[in-house]
């Protein structure tokens, strides 16, 4: 089973992303970005179950994100 993360540079960006998800009816949770996903050190991420719906919500609400990743059970990450 995979986990899907969208990363943001700041907490404000992640909060905007979370509001976009809520507006689109997509479930998500805000968390600190795992170190292996954080390109510039600290960052925040939204963990979602449906990455396609999340990407559509971010596009619709014009919320920029740094990256989108699929993480497997062993911690291996691949960009979406």
Is 70 exceeded by the pLDDT of residue 7?
yes
Integer Cα distance of 61 and 69 in angstroms = 20
Which residue, chain included where needed, has tokens 């992303």? 17
Predicted confidence at residue 18, as pLDDT, reads: 97
Q: What residue ranges do the domains of the chain occupy?
A: 3-79
The C-alpha angle 35, 39, 43, rounded to 5 degrees, equals: 65
Q: What contacts 4, CB < 8 A, 6 or more positions away?
A: 47, 48, 49, 50, 51, 54, 68, 69, 70, 71, 80
Is 70 exceeded by the pLDDT of residue 35?
yes
Using a pLDDT cut of 70, give the percent of the chain over it.
94
Confidence of residue 34 (pLDDT cuts 50, 70, 90): confident
Is 80 exceeded by the pLDDT of residue 42?
no
Confidence of residue 77 (pLDDT cuts 50, 70, 90): confident
What kind of fold does domain 3-79 have according to CATH?
A: Alpha-Beta Plaits (3.30.70)
Across the range 42-56, mean pLDDT stands at 93
Residue 6 per-residue DSSP state = E
């Amino acid at each position: 089973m995979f986990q899907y993360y969208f990363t943001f540079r700041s907490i404000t960006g992640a909060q905007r992303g979370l509001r976009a998800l809520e507006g689109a009816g997509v479930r998500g949770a805000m968390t600190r970005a795992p170190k292996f996903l954080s390109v510039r050190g600290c960052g925040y991420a939204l963990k979602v179950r449906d990455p396609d719906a999340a990407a559509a919500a971010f596009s619709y609400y014009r919320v920029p994100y740094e990256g989108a990743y699929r993480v497997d059970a062993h911690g291996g990450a691949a960009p979406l």
